[in-house]
Chains A and B, each alone.
Chain A
Amino acid sequence: MEQLLDAALFSSMLRVVTPILLAALGGALCSRVGLFNVALEGFVLVGAFSGIVGNYLFGNVWIAVLFAVLCVMLFSLIFGYISINLKANVIVVGISLNFLAAGLTTFLLRAIFDVKGAYYDNNMVGLPKWDIPFIQDIPWLGSVISGQSPLVYLALILVAVLQFFLFKTISGFRMRSVGENPVAAQSIGIKVRKHQYSAVLACGVLCGLAGAQLSLGQVTMFTEGMTAGRGFIALVATMLGQASPIGVMASSMLFGFMDALGIRLQGFSMPSHFTQMLPYIVTLIAMFFFKDRSYLEDAHKAGGSSR
């Protein structure tokens, strides 16, 4: 137990949880305007891929992150246009966008890098690791929190910012009203579509960051379908967190912890099949205990987009 739950475990938990947390925050914003975004998985995949492409093209990790964000924003506009303007079923659009993300990334992987399955470059510089003064000197906590990629810290800051925005500002309040009752919101002059689009675009930004952390955070590489269901786990985190940023962070942390624990348990001669199952099983158990009827009902109106 001692060697199982050491600081390194929690440090890797923070690293693993960041893509999930960022994507889940994006999902929470979409939920708040009444769009159940199933395409998180695809968004993050596009982000991970364009992060690598940006790095390859510009040779600068910061521009790469920016490039990833821009690409996913464009991608999220497709989602926004089809589900808001064309009023198609949000879930169906989300599913098809996941296909598009998978198709585009595998195709471009071949077209740009001429490789199948995975792209890996030894000379590519990934995200730096920042040491935080003062905190890094605290015995145990320092080794957990300090020395992570900047995106990890950005994610934690964004939780606070979004929490403040949604519950303490006027525009945040308006945004929530759009999801609560679009007709009523419209009737008092709130621009429903504008809020929906800005939520979708913000979701794109967040998923772009999530993807960049995934492909540039630890080892700089991209593999086909490297999101491996993290987007869906993020979706669950969104639902369990009642779409409030703090709640989303708590549920994401739980999954991240399980993910990191699973990786760690492989060193304890457990078949890797079972350790890899951990996050999914825990996600299911969490769904069982923390039910969120209102969002489930949104999803239950399968077909009736919640507008």
Chain B
Amino acid sequence: MSVIKQSLRGLIQPLLAIIIGLVAGAIAILIVGGSITETYVEMWNGAFGSFYFLTNTLARATPIILAGLGIALAFRAGFFNMGAEGQMVLGGISAALTALYLPGPGWLVLIVSIVAGIVAGGLWSVLAGWLDARFGMNLLITTLLLNYIAILFAGYLVAYPFKDTTGSAAMAQSAMIDQSVWLPKLFQGMGLHAGFILAIVAALLLYVFMKKTVAGYEIRMLGNNPLFASYGGVRRGRMMMIAMLVSGGLAGLAGAGEVLGTQYRFLDGSLSSASYAWSGIMATLLASSHPLGTALAAILLAALQTGAMGVERNTEVPLEVASVIQAVLTLFVSARIGYTFWKRRKEKQSNGTTS
């Protein structure tokens, strides 16, 4: 019974939030003077209207799922990893450079490139974890600041030493990756690539890890009640490093997948302008860090974004409507986020409330 309850609790919140988000979207549509029904029909069509649009949505969801999973893991342990964007960009550039300059058979280079992306993201993230565990530098802030540094550094790499000099375009981008190293597409002529399968597998693995392993239990314990966890012998610093390593690794994988499966090169700003990582954070907040819920929420957010592009194409309503809906969704859920932290609140209330 409690299992059903738990999984329901993970799902009810997002569903409620979606309704609130759509109402906010309706208000936004009215402000611009569009028709609500027409806009939402177009949004649905743009997201799921045909097989092509559906795969398009799932392709967009791929990096959001992966980044979101990483953030969810850190959140569950009580760490605010806000650095997914920088970890993703470093993962992307590392994968691109490995794929470009490592000799060998295509499939092997592909695997090494993906690993390189995971490692780069993980190391960048662990750096922040280490700074917190070792020197007490606030993780939330350091991860945020490291984002800017990572994005600028990757931008420098493709603007100067590894700039694509073959084309006439003055874009800051790396050279094109050889076709033998590309992540295969799942369907001929569609945007969806094998990275999506990796993302789904990662979601399932993370779910099992959180539910069934000792380490997963320790992470949940640390997030729910740090005092109890330390009493039970969980070493917070070590846990932080491990959680951040995996968290950043997943974000790095998201970046690597985007580079090897969609763009086939590293283009400066392409990973950050689509704000995959921030959508990942939103997905995590929407699903209160439940791995499978995060994957679903990521697909929902991707659908909102691709749907909004359809709205932009076919109506007068701007695609920015999606960002309003997403933000209201997230805010609504965060306002009622009692679930992950309610235990601690209860404990607070037992030694006197301040309200």
Contacts and interface: CB of A to CB of B under 8 A. Distances in A.
Interface in A133-188: 182-183, 185-186
B209 to A, nearest CB: 21
Interface residues of A, number: 57
A307 B351 CA distance: 12
Contact of A277 (B135, B148, B344): B148
B90 to A, nearest CB: 14
Contacts, number: 157
Interface string B127-156: 000010001111011101111110011011
A277 B355 contact: no
Interface stretch (B178-186, B250-258, B334-342): B334-342
B328 A100 contact: yes
A82 B335 contact: yes
A103 B137 contact: no
Given A97-B331, A102-B323, A182 B354 contact: yes
A78 B145 CA distance: 26
B229 interface: no
Contacts of B135: 288, 291
Contact of A302 (B79, B330, B352): B79
Contacts of B140: 38, 91, 299, 302
Interface stretch (A54-62, A122-130, A279-287): A279-287
A99 B156 contact: no
A194 interface: no
Contact of A304 (B28, B160, B323, B344): B344
A88 B320 contact: no
A274 interface: yes
Nearest to B312: A110
Given A91-B80, A103-B327, A303-B223, A96 B334 contact: yes
A161 to B, nearest CB: 27
Task: Report, as a range, how many residues of chain B touch the other chain.
Answer: 35 or more
Interface string A185-217: 110000011000000000000000000000000
Contacts of B323: 99, 102-103, 106-107
B34 to A, nearest CB: 10
B335 A236 contact: no
Interface stretch (B36-44, B199-207, B213-221, B277-285): B277-285
Nearest to A276: B152
Contact of A82 (B326, B334, B351): B334
Contact of B285 (A95, A276, A307): A95
B191 interface: no
Contacts of A288: 131, 135, 137
B142 A284 contact: yes
B318 interface: yes
Contacts of A239: 138, 141
Interface in B40-54: none
A104 B324 contact: yes
Contacts of B320: 103, 106-107, 109-111
A284 B145 contact: yes
B331 A100 contact: yes
Nearest to B343: A303
A39 to B, nearest CB: 11
B348 interface: yes
Given A87-B345, A89-B341, A281 B137 contact: no
B324 A107 contact: yes
Contact of A95 (B31, B147, B281, B324): B281
Nearest to A97: B331
A261 interface: no
A92 B145 contact: no
A96 B330 contact: yes
Interface in B267-281: 278, 281
Nearest to A81: B335
B88 interface: no
Contact of A273 (B137, B159, B281): B159
A233 B80 CA distance: 17
Interface in B63-98: 78-80, 82
Given A89-B334, A107-B324, A192-B354, A99 B278 contact: yes
A107 B318 contact: yes
B197 interface: no
Nearest to B323: A103
A103 B142 contact: no
B19 interface: no
Given A100-B331, A303-B223, A274 B354 contact: no
A86 B335 contact: yes
Given A89-B334, A110-B320, A271 B285 contact: no
A235 interface: yes
Given A99-B331, A303-B341, A236 B141 contact: yes
A91 B327 CA distance: 15
Residue of B144, B285, B338, B344 ringed by the most chain A CB atoms within 10 A? B144
B136 A296 contact: yes
A281 B281 CA distance: 24
B115 interface: no
B11 to A, nearest CB: 19
B137 A303 contact: no
B324 A302 contact: no
Contact of B318 (A110, A235, A236): A110
A21 interface: no
B137 A287 contact: yes
Given A107-B318, A111-B31, A303-B341, A92 B324 contact: no
Closest 4 CB pairs of A and B: A103-B323, A103-B327, A273-B156, A100-B327
Given A284-B145, A303-B344, 17 more contacts: A91-B140, A96-B330, A96-B331, A96-B334, A107-B28, A109-B320, A186-B354, A232-B145, A236-B145, A239-B138, A274-B156, A276-B148, A277-B149, A283-B145, A296-B138, A302-B78, A303-B340
